[in-house]
Amino acid sequence: MTKALFTLDAVLEATGGRAQDVEASEINSISIDSRELGPDALFVAIKGDRFDGHDFVDTALANGAVAALVSEGNGKGKGRIVVQDALGGLRDLARAARQRNRGFIVGVTGSVGKTTTKEALRTIFEAAGQTHASIKSFNNHWGVPLTLARLPESAQFGVFEMGMNAPDEIRPLSQMVRPHVAVITAVAPVHLEGLGSTEAIARAKAEIFDGLEPGGTAVLNADHQHLTQLMDAAKAAGVANIVTYGFSRGVDWQILDAQSAGEQSFATIQHAGERFAMTFAIPGRHMLSNATAALAVAHLAGVSPEEGLRALAGLRAQAGRGQRRPLGPAEKPLVLINESYNANPVAVSAALSVFADVDAPGGRKVLVLGDMLELGDQAEALHAGLNEAVRASGATRVHLVGPHMAALAAALPAALVASHFRTAEEAEDVIIADLAYGDAVMIKGSNGVGLSRIVNALVARFEHS
Binding annotation: 110-116
CA distance 6 to 24: 11
What DSSP character marks residue 248? S
Pairing of strands 274-280, 264-271: antiparallel
| Of 63, 138, 156, 46, the residue nearest 101 (C-alpha) | 156
β-bridge mates for residue 420, sequence order: 400
> On the CB side of 171, how many CA atoms lie within 13 Å of its CA?
9
Could you give the CA distance from residue 210 to residue 162 in angstroms, rounded to a whole number? 13
**What span, in angstroms and rounded, lies between the C-alpha atoms of 290 and 429?**
36
| Cα(293)–Cα(247) distance, integer angstroms | 11
What is the C-alpha separation between 387 and 174, in angstroms, rounded? 38
Taking the C-alpha atoms of residue 331 and residue 165, their distance in angstroms, rounded to an integer, is: 45
The whole-angstrom separation of Cα 119 and Cα 114 is: 9
| Residues placed in the known binding site for ATP | 110-116
Burial class (CB in 10 A: 0-12, 13-18, 19+), 338: buried
Say how far apart CA 183 and CA 377 lie, in whole Å: 29
CA 233 to chain CA mean position, Å: 24
Q: Residue 275 to residues 251, 260, 271, 306, 371: CA-CA distances in angstroms?
A: 14, 19, 6, 10, 41
Amino acid identity, position 21: D
Three-point CA angle 293, 299, 300, nearest 5°:
95
